[in-house]
Amino acid sequence: MPRRGERKQRVRSSAPEPTPAREPDHIGIRTLTWTRRGVKARRTVDPAKYRCRTLAAQLADEWITYTRAMARTDGGVDLAQAVRSFAKFVDRHLPTLGMDPADVRLDGHEVDFVEVIHAWEEDLRQQHGLRSNSPHVKTNSLLTLIEQRALKDTGIPQALRLRAQAPPAYPPQRSEPLDEFSNAERIALRDAARGAVRALEARLARGRALLARGVDPREGGWHVPENLVWAATRPGLLIVEVLEPQFPQNVLSWPEPVKALLPTGPDGTLLKRGFRYLVAELSALLFPTEMDLQAFRVLLLLGMSDTSPEELHGLKLPDIEFTDGGVRLVQRKSRAHRVRADLHPDPGPEEETATEFAGDGAWGVPGLLRRLLAATELSRKVFPDAEPWLFLAVERRHRGVLDAEVAQFKNRERRFGSWIAQQRDAAGKPLDISRPFEIRRLRKTTKVVRAVALGGTVSDLAGDDHHVEVYRMHYAHGTTAHILAGRAINRAQKWVFERMSTAARPVLVTEEAEKHLEEPEVAEDLGLDTGQARAMRSGELDMGLVNCRNPYASPHRKDTKVCGTYLLRLPGHRLPQDQDGPGAPGIALVGHRAGR
């Protein structure tokens, strides 16, 4: 037992001090994957690449949440670009203010993010120029993410919350709407596409004839073109690693029948050498490529005025149903969130005779679809795992192996403009087509052709696939529509002036002459009797819009048309339209008269 004073002082334990909250040294990569038209894509944002990694991680989380919630089919590419651009700017801008980017976050109060966003917008303006739309798009994307964060995080400063609800500082740049192709350009594109389809069908017929005679090259030999074509139907067999041991290293030493498969110039020289080009040429003998499918795309868009490039590109085999009267297509427009079915009838006997291609089918929509399905039939047999897209293209893809996927038409060498550059007219000259080379202009061209053929009101021309306002804003502005409107106005004016040149032209009675209107001599000179003159003075014959209680129910006419405009001659005055010589009376618009 311890004595007095020998007891030790008890040290009471205390609660440990809370450790300061610290962000981890490494923040995980945010990744978003999606599938569009059968092609998988992947987009990433790595917050660890930036000094403001906490801020970047918060924005990247909102990017993934927003993209999934809105079911964005493009993976929110613009949002991810805005996150990366803003994070780079913060890393560069905050040190100039004496601040550490690692300490900033959306729910913090160390930085005035309103001023930072404004400085970022100015920097984007300097980078992209005054005519670029990128500053508006990126700023709008960033504000969208911040506003979404503010809805669930009460720690967001009020000033930043209000800024996120406001629009970007710089408005979007309004570009000029696309004009349609001229009629000459439309015909040139149509003829070039038809020639490309004929060439494709002839090439495929040649390739399938070679395929019918080919055998396994491991048994029949690798130097026989028919056997190489047969190997093209076995994608794993026709690869560079397998071909290299079978041929000399120098392409000029290859057997002549094999060298003949490579592309050559007019003088017979080889334009492209190597196994990759040999595989591409062998594949082209059996399967359509993306450039081959461009011709079908052009012809179908020219023949389907109510179908957009997006709807046509998204067609699959289950969406196509051939009937006795034509073909029924189930079309999907993602932007309008609409699914509709359209029937495209077969052309009549007379039309079919005019558009029929001898031996290979018609050029109408049903005929083109049958020819396209026939061209891609072997592609679907050789690649059974490919999704049933209408525009199924076979190309050398991963590691040089042939594979079938939906045609994207996005590669620089496979776009619509590249296809136009490859086409030639009947004289062998390049096509003279106005820029820009936009596939959307084909749709506008078909709308104009429809307007010329049908006429009618704007509501008639808009059809079932547009609102009247959409048609007026995006289609009625075209050059052809303006020319037709001008011609209609000129015809109406010409008719009016011709009517005004007759002997029974209207006469303007001045206020001074009106006092003498009831005199028999004056009324007779004007072609009136005394009763008509008295009624005119008292206002009984006033029939203008201002005199009708209901302009569409005039007491002076039986139909329901609105009161018309009438013109009167001014004695002693002359307008340029008059051809009556010096001193001829002019024309003045003085009111409205029913039935004239």
Dihedral sign, CA of 265, 271, 273, 277?
A: negative
Reading the block at residue 260, the tokens are 């003949």
Does one domain contain both 69 and 153? yes
Q: What is the pLDDT of residue 146?
A: 94
pLDDT at 537 over 60: yes
Residue 341 in any domain: the answer is yes
Domain boundary among 395, 424, 450: 450
8 A C-beta contact, residue 364 and residue 347: yes
Q: What is the pLDDT of residue 150?
A: 92
Residue 20 in any domain: the answer is no
Dist CA 10 CA 155 (whole Å): 44
Reading the block at residue 34, the tokens are 């999606």
Q: Tell the residue number behind the tokens 């041929």, with chain if given.
A: 247
Dist CA 257 CA 203 (whole Å): 17
8 A C-beta contact, residue 104 and residue 55: yes
The pLDDT of 431-442, averaged and rounded, is 87
Q: What is the pLDDT of residue 504?
A: 59
pLDDT at 23 over 50: no
| Residue 199 pLDDT grade (very low, low, confident, very high; cuts 50, 70, 90) | very high
Looking at the 3D structure of the chain, how many domains does it have?
Answer: 4
Q: Give pLDDT tens digits for 266-305.
A: 776 777 788 888 888 899 999 999 999 999 999 999 888 7
What's the whole-number average pLDDT of the chain? 78
Q: What is the pLDDT of residue 22?
A: 44
Identify which of 83, 93, 107 has the alpha carbon closest to the alpha carbon of residue 21: 107
Which residues fall within 8 angstroms of residue 497, CB to CB, at 6 or more apart? 577
The pLDDT of 26-36, averaged and rounded, is 77
H or E element that contains 586 = strand 586-593
Does one domain contain both 291 and 373? yes
What residue type is assigned to position 362 of the chain? A
Dist CA 385 CA 365 (whole Å): 27
Reading the block at residue 233, the tokens are 């139907």
Percent of the chain with pLDDT over 90: 31
H or E element that contains 275 = helix 275-284
Reading the block at residue 105, the tokens are 């976050």
Q: At what angle do helices 183-213 and 290-303 cross, to 10 degrees?
A: 140
Q: What is the pLDDT of residue 179?
A: 77
pLDDT at 560 over 70: no
8 A C-beta contact, residue 66 and residue 145: yes
In terms of residue numbers, what domain contains 576? 493-593
The more confidently predicted of residues 321 and 472 is 321
H or E element that contains 45 = strand 39-45
Does one domain contain both 204 and 191? yes
Least confident of 114-118, 356-360, 483-487, 532-536: 356-360
Residue 500 in any domain: the answer is yes
| Residue 58 pLDDT grade (very low, low, confident, very high; cuts 50, 70, 90) | very high
Dist CA 131 CA 235 (whole Å): 48
Dist CA 41 CA 401 (whole Å): 20
Instruction: Identify the top-confidence range among 72-81, 101-110, 367-376.
Output: 367-376
Which residues are paired to 340 by β-bridges?
331
Q: How many other CB atoms sit within 10 Å of the CB of residue 281?
A: 17
Q: Strand ranges (DSSP E) for 246-371?
A: 320-322, 326-333, 338-345, 356-357, 361-362
Q: What is the pLDDT of residue 25?
A: 42
| Residue 452 pLDDT grade (very low, low, confident, very high; cuts 50, 70, 90) | low
Dist CA 431 CA 420 (whole Å): 7
Dist CA 594 CA 316 (whole Å): 58
Does one domain contain both 446 and 462? no
Does one domain contain both 401 and 284? yes
Does one domain contain both 475 and 509? no
Dist CA 309 CA 467 (whole Å): 18
Residue 365 in any domain: the answer is yes
Q: What is the pLDDT of residue 253?
A: 85
- Of the CA atoms within 13 Å of residue 98, those in its CB half-sphere come to 0
Does one domain contain both 148 and 245? no
pLDDT at 354 over 80: no
Instruction: Identify the top-confidence range among 3-17, 52-66, 562-576.
Output: 52-66
Query: What is the number of H-type helices and E-type strands within the chain?
Result: 24, 11
Stated pTM of the model: 0.66
The more confidently predicted of residues 582 and 78 is 78
Residue 139 in any domain: the answer is yes
The more confidently predicted of residues 561 and 427 is 427
Does one domain contain both 323 and 206? yes
Does one domain contain both 479 and 515? no
82-to-100, 184, 334, 444, 476 alpha-carbon distances in Å:
21, 43, 24, 33, 35
Q: Tell the residue number behind the tokens 């001074």, with chain if given.
A: 512
Does one domain contain both 543 and 464? no
User: Left, alpha or beta for 132 (phi > 0: left; psi -120 to 50: alpha)?
Assistant: beta
Residue 275 in any domain: the answer is yes
- Indicate the SS3 state at residue 478: coil
Residue 1 in any domain: the answer is no
Domain boundary among 396, 430, 450: 450
Least confident of 145-159, 374-388, 440-454: 440-454
Q: What is the pLDDT of residue 145?
A: 95
Does one domain contain both 333 and 415? yes
